[in-house]
Structure 1
Amino acid sequence: MGRGQHDPLKDFLVDLFSSEKTTGQPGKSEKPAVGKYSAMAPLIVIATAFAFYVPRLVELTGQAPESQGAIAAASIHGYLWLLLLATPALIAFDVVRFISHRHRVRLDAHVRQATRHLPVKVTVGFPPGISALRSATIKLPRGAIIRPKEMDEFTSAVRVSVNRRSGKWTHMVTHQAHHDQIVVTRKHVEPDTRSDRHRVLERVLVGGPLKDAAVTVDSYDDDGSETGYKITYSQSMSSGVHGFQSKIDEALTSLAGTHESGRTWATQWFPSEGFLLMMLRAPLPTRVDHPLELVDENLRHLPYATAASDLTMFWDISTKSNKPHCLIVGPTGGGKTSVIRTLLTEAARRGIPFLGVDPKMIELDGLEGYPGCAAIVYDAVRSAMLVRALHCEMMARNHYVHVKKIEPSELPFLITVLDEFFILSGKWQRLAKTGDDETREMLKELDPLGAWADLAVLARSAGIRLLLGVQRPDASLFGGASGNARDNFGTRISLGNLSQDGAMMLWGDSQVGREIDTSVPGRGVALGNDGSPVDAQMWWTPNVDPHPNKWNQLSDSEKAIINGLRPQVEPQIAFYSKELRQFVESERSMATTARERGYAPEPTQLGEDHTDQAVPAAAVDDDVDAIPAHSVTEGMTILVPGEDGTEHEATVFAVTVIRNKDTADVTETTITVGGTGRVKNHVTYGPHEVVFLPEPDEVLESV
């Protein structure tokens, strides 16, 4: 052991049994601050034992009772009870003295080792405390200097050595330099009543990215469970950055876990005041009927859902909106049609007309004839004509703004619904290949996909808003060659669970929208007002079709919703182009004729004569599920065109997708299917072409 090092055990033994302390210099010594311990109890114990046995000693010596020795022994024995009472008291006093001496020896050793000073006097308060020292005063030499580091070492040594068996106390050490002394006191430690969640949050925040972070409980529920925390921190440049806050939010909510009530956590930042609140999200309702009152007084906000904390989600269609168009993604039966009905009925009651395309003929048919509905188109060719007419309307509106020198915000709004867009675009592509000459030439001239891409990018300033419904997201359809159209669909809604790729395409996060409780109808994810996706419960809007077959299926409460939403004054559409006006007029005329002369064959059974039931051409519909060509996988069964123009089922053997090296957009897809014998057929599709399935199939969304 080096000269500068000390052995605490050796020091303790020397202090206990030695009455002198060396100064560290040969031949010199000083009076010790702690003297030698001398017990007094053994003397009284010997005296008590002698008083107890003195009569026996007299008997053994054979002395007569009248002798002086016997009388003296009897006198000593008479003090026996007094000695018996004094013995335990003196033993206890010796024990207290020993404990006090032990504390004094330890303190003396710690002072000498930590500060290199020899204490003048060490005084321990009475009683000294059995498990933890109660108080002590250490007198130092006059003018003694103690450095902060030495004081910290002494404090740590004291807290460890004089409080070994009790966690109820903590010791405070103060250097009173003006009195040349060190004072040690103890303070009761309050029991740790923090919850496990509270302790975890404090532990991870210590030394974390938030400077000087401290966690306090902000609120409790009726059962005493913690429902909110306030986290204070020292302000910095990064604490006001949204990206930094998002990372902290994600870490905190993950560490806090799900609350006992089943709810999750949300944070609210106050960077200018140096704190954030971490509160429980209000539970989402399992059903929200479409409210009859105007929830949002802004007539350019179309509400459609309720998020956590009763937050109303809305589609902002105003001219200044950064999310002018709306995209709804949801599987069949997921509630997509109800959301569309909610948005359109809200638009109608705010005086905004709409028109739509329904290639499946069953989703939007109930809106035909509803106040504010200009037309609902079902035919694929007529849908292409509508898209081109809307393009002409957009150009006419822009020309009107240019000539009249008015603000675009003065133009009236018009909402256009394109439901089941994959099926619609697939029909256009099929007709462009297999239709008659007149149809192919018409679709080539109309170019509906190109017109729709222009609308998605340019229609905002013309007051035209697009509401697009698809069963699965697909990046190639809304980006790349389509003019990055998906970036204009700032309002996005997803129903049901997305795949990892679909979540990344729609929300920019591979985990959002993947754990939706599909047992609750209308549960999904919507783009929040602050630009971040949030879980939401979509409003329920019944089918507004007044036909008895539909109306009689509704409950009284659902009928009350429909009657309460119906506007008293029908919104009127203002036409700026003759193309759209002529199309709507002709479509309404055709719809009236179809309702008057509409025909559908009655169902038959095997063995019945059904030769007299002629099926009109308009009644034949071959709608099937359509998916992008690059989403096809090996082993799937698809419909491929044959040499005679008809389509037949074929099994996919291989899929080759070619992408642009710079943008990663799909440029071409080649699908290999089985032919006759060992011959394989190769079918090539363009970047936005779709293939048809003989029946719905599960595929991954592509990005």
Structure 2
Amino acid sequence: MAAALAVAQVRHDRTTNRRTELSNTARIKIQETLKITVTQTVKWRRDRPERILLKVPPAAMVGEAAQLAISQAVSRAWDDHFTVTAARITSGRIVLHRSEPETEKKPTDLDRIKDRSRTVAEQVLGRDARVDQYHTGDDGQTLDSFTIHHGHGAKLASKSVQLKATRIISSMLPGAWRTAFDLEHDTITVSRRPPLPTMVPRPVAMPAPGTPEWDLIPQAVDEDGIVCSWDISGVMAHQLKAGRTRTGKTVSLLGDAVEGARRGYRIFVLDPKRTEFLGLRTWPNVQLVATKVPDQVALVHYLWSLMEERYRRIEEEGASEADFERIMVLVDEYRQFYGNAKSWWTSVKASGMPAQCPVFDWIGSLLRMAGACRIHVILGTQRPDADVVGGEIRDNFSSRAALGPLSPEGARMMFDSEQIGTNIPLGRRGRGTWVGLDGAPKEVQYYYTPDPRKALSPEDRALLDQLRPDTITWPRQTITWPGDDQLDTIADDFPKRPSDDWLRIIGSDLTDSTTQDRNTDEDLHAELSNQDPEATLAEDLDQAYTPPEWIDPTALEPGMILLLDQTWVTITEAATDPIDADQTLIDYTSPDGQDATISIGAAETITIRRLT
């Protein structure tokens, strides 16, 4: 027993000596750090100090940072973590307890994007802007939307200003974003844009005849999966569809013809390139695909005459518009048709005939008047240049659609804005812009309709089988020309006899075809059928853009494409950095549809291409 007590005493003495030594060492370190005299009383728990009572000069405890400095000095001296739990300044007494150090909370991706949203709001709308109403996805970690409160409703009333603000906000945040402006309450709801599909087959389901949906021609789907339709029976009687080569414009036009044919419309096509719509020549209810200039001019004359006859019946016979069958007229590559017709007219025109081919007056008349008597025109063009598609003609197209990226000038002519449609990603067939009756532009994916002539895959053939009309309402037709013995009679209607070629146009008519149409000669048909339907991105670039050139960043314009890290991106805006005048801020859209911003030194040289 005595031996055990002796051993315990030895252990106690050792512990006491060690604690005293540690305490003295720590006290000296505290004094050296704080440069004051310190007395220290330590309460231990096993081998670690649990509570420390310090007595310091009262003056050393004055000031907001004094206690923090003392706790830091004690923590370093003891190589542990201590916090102040009690202090009496007048007596210079301070109590510290050992505590577990607080682990610094690392910000999550959600925290970072929330912080970024507040920064963006302040930079775009001023320091008084505030952000709230954060909503996350099902995982609780992905920010889906937030609301910005501001006081700049008057400045944001302009649609162009809203578009610019939206682009800046989207480019400054990771991912793709859209906005909803509430000018009444001075708020902007910013929400993440759902990704658009890269290809959407044309839907096969049909509305019931006689319903309001019957005359809605499906065009595309937006990022919310909502179908964008052309209301052919309302004020959107005609459609202007723009798109450069290999953007999907012709595919969309094919789809319009197929939709009209399913509904029992009479379908007529003007194909200036002669090979784009060969697959429709044998499609049910497509009555004529005109590929040669005389045929095309004669077809337009027939349609104009039919419109005049319908108006006569309404005026003189009391007919109703509902008495007439709907007619859909597709005019593709209007610039090509315009040039072909002008050239042809020089070889046809005789003395005393108009300087300009009357076919353009007929087309203008159709656009102004034909919609009211159920004749509807879809005019396709690579770009609606003013010298070809004048302002008066453009104003008759209430429905406007664009495929692929537009140049700022093309965007202005299509949508009265130099920004709408300029940031469509390169190489995305069928991706484009749609503006409905509400006037709000949308980035959409246009429906894919296989070309009946080129459909090779089982999926394409199956889709065409489902889209094919069950019954043929309208037979194929051909143009019949008057004989030479009839020309004199036709010429009696003119004060001065025109050329015989023009008399044949005026005297032509459409009659039901009794022979099987041939798409084209066998060699050309085989050659076209063997072409690869998918063109490479390089071919698309060469078709739509000028060769690469090198410029200063300050010369960048929206609609150009910029070579960035071996990838061509579409420029949406470029401006001098307001913070650093030697830098150019460049907003761009990548091929996968992501918006971003980079800063490039104004003295650098960059590689760009321009829309042709």
Q: TM-score, normalization: structure 1?
A: 0.52
Q: 2:255 aligns with which of 330, 342, 361?
A: 342
* Aligned residue number for residue 92 of structure 1: 40
* Aligned residue number for residue 215 of structure 2: 300
After superposition, residues 662-673 of structure 1 pair within 5 angstroms as none
Q: 1:567 and 1:228, CA in 2 relative to 1: closer, same or farther beyond 3 A?
A: same
Match status 1:502 vs 2:410: yes
Contact conserved, 2:145 with 2:192, CA < 8 A, in 1?
Answer: no
User: 1:621-662 deviations in whole A, cap 9, x for unaligned?
Assistant: xxxxxxxxxxxxxxxxxxxxxxxxxxxxxxxxxxxxxxxxxx
Deviation at 1:342, TM superposition (A): 0.6
User: 1:456-504 deviations in whole A, cap 9, x for unaligned?
Assistant: 2333333221111223331222225xxx111222333333444443333
Q: 1:430 and 1:460, CA in 2 relative to 1: closer, same or farther beyond 3 A?
A: same
Higher relative contact order (CA 8 A, sep 6+): 2
Q: 1:486 aligns with which of 383, 387, 394?
A: 394
Q: 1:324 and 1:95, CA in 2 relative to 1: closer, same or farther beyond 3 A?
A: farther
After superposition, residues 199-278 of structure 1 pair within 5 angstroms as 199-206=115-122, 209=125, 212-215=129-132, 217-220=134-137, 222=139, 226-233=142-149, 238=154, 241=157, 243=159, 245-257=162-174, 259=175, 264-269=176-181, 276-278=188-190
Using the alignment, how far apart are the partners of 1:499 and 1:248 within structure 2? 20
* Letter of the 1:231 counterpart: T
Larger Rg: 1
Contact conserved, 2:404 with 2:429, CA < 8 A, in 1?
Answer: no
* Aligned residue number for residue 202 of structure 2: 290
Contact conserved, 1:336 with 1:495, CA < 8 A, in 2?
Answer: yes
Contact conserved, 1:128 with 1:135, CA < 8 A, in 2?
Answer: no
Using the alignment, how far apart are the partners of 2:406 and 2:173 within structure 1? 26
Q: Which runs of 5+ in 1 are unaligned?
A: 1-79, 111-123, 139-167, 170-187, 574-578, 604-697
SS of residue matched to 1:286: coil
Contact conserved, 2:198 with 2:445, CA < 8 A, in 1?
Answer: yes
Q: 1:286 and 1:206, CA in 2 relative to 1: closer, same or farther beyond 3 A?
A: closer
User: 1:153-205 deviations in whole A, cap 9, x for unaligned?
Assistant: xxxxxxxxxxxxxxx99xxxxxxxxxxxxxxxxxx998765544332321242
* Aligned residue number for residue 372 of structure 2: 461
Q: 1:470 and 1:240, CA in 2 relative to 1: closer, same or farther beyond 3 A?
A: closer
Using the alignment, how far apart are the partners of 2:329 and 2:158 within structure 1? 35
User: 1:345-364 deviations in whole A, cap 9, x for unaligned?
Assistant: 11222333221212333222
* Aligned residue number for residue 45 of structure 1: none
Match status 1:452 vs 2:363: yes
Using the alignment, how far apart are the partners of 2:383 and 2:19 within structure 1? 99
Using the alignment, how far apart are the partners of 1:83 and 1:436 within structure 2? 117
Contact conserved, 1:313 with 1:529, CA < 8 A, in 2?
Answer: no
Using the alignment, how far apart are the partners of 1:474 and 1:282 within structure 2? 33
Segment of structure 1 superposing worse, 126-135 or 485-494: 126-135
Match status 1:198 vs 2:121: no
Deviation at 1:267, TM superposition (A): 2.4
Using the alignment, how far apart are the partners of 2:514 and 2:273 within structure 1? 19
Q: 1:463 and 1:240, CA in 2 relative to 1: closer, same or farther beyond 3 A?
A: farther
* Letter of the 1:304 counterpart: Q
Deviation at 1:339, TM superposition (A): 0.9
User: 1:530-588 deviations in whole A, cap 9, x for unaligned?
Assistant: 4343333222212235xxxx6xx623222221121122244569xxxxx9xx9999434
After superposition, residues 280-679 of structure 1 pair within 5 angstroms as 280-294=192-206, 298-319=213-234, 321=235, 323-402=236-315, 412-435=325-348, 437=350, 447-480=358-391, 484-527=392-435, 530-544=438-452, 554-571=456-473, 586-589=509-512, 591-593=513-515, 595=517, 600=521
State the number of aligned residues.
438
* Aligned residue number for residue 581 of structure 2: none
Contact conserved, 1:96 with 1:127, CA < 8 A, in 2?
Answer: no
Using the alignment, how far apart are the partners of 2:57 and 2:301 within structure 1? 99
* Letter of the 1:466 counterpart: V
SS of residue matched to 2:342: helix
* Letter of the 1:253 counterpart: S
Contact conserved, 2:124 with 2:169, CA < 8 A, in 1?
Answer: no
* Aligned residue number for residue 606 of structure 1: none
Q: 1:444 and 1:274, CA in 2 relative to 1: closer, same or farther beyond 3 A?
A: closer
SS of residue matched to 2:224: helix
Using the alignment, how far apart are the partners of 1:137 and 1:371 within structure 2? 98
Q: 1:106 aligns with which of 63, 68, 75?
A: 63
Percent identical among aligned pairs is: 23
Contact conserved, 1:302 with 1:316, CA < 8 A, in 2?
Answer: yes
Using the alignment, how far apart are the partners of 2:369 and 2:474 within structure 1? 23
Deviation at 1:256, TM superposition (A): 0.9
Using the alignment, how far apart are the partners of 2:451 and 2:336 within structure 1? 22
Deviation at 1:300, TM superposition (A): 2.0
* Letter of the 1:106 counterpart: G
Contact conserved, 1:201 with 1:215, CA < 8 A, in 2?
Answer: no
* Letter of the 1:309 counterpart: D
Q: 1:586 and 1:408, CA in 2 relative to 1: closer, same or farther beyond 3 A?
A: closer
Contact conserved, 1:198 with 1:215, CA < 8 A, in 2?
Answer: no
Q: 1:584 and 1:234, CA in 2 relative to 1: closer, same or farther beyond 3 A?
A: farther
Deviation at 1:130, TM superposition (A): 5.7
Deviation at 1:506, TM superposition (A): 2.6
After superposition, residues 64-83 of structure 1 pair within 5 angstroms as none
Q: 1:593 and 1:250, CA in 2 relative to 1: closer, same or farther beyond 3 A?
A: same
Contact conserved, 1:202 with 1:215, CA < 8 A, in 2?
Answer: no
Contact conserved, 1:418 with 1:469, CA < 8 A, in 2?
Answer: yes
Contact conserved, 2:403 with 2:431, CA < 8 A, in 1?
Answer: yes
Contact conserved, 1:381 with 1:443, CA < 8 A, in 2?
Answer: no
Deviation at 1:448, TM superposition (A): 0.6
Using the alignment, how far apart are the partners of 2:158 and 2:88 within structure 1? 54
Using the alignment, how far apart are the partners of 2:287 and 2:417 within structure 1? 38
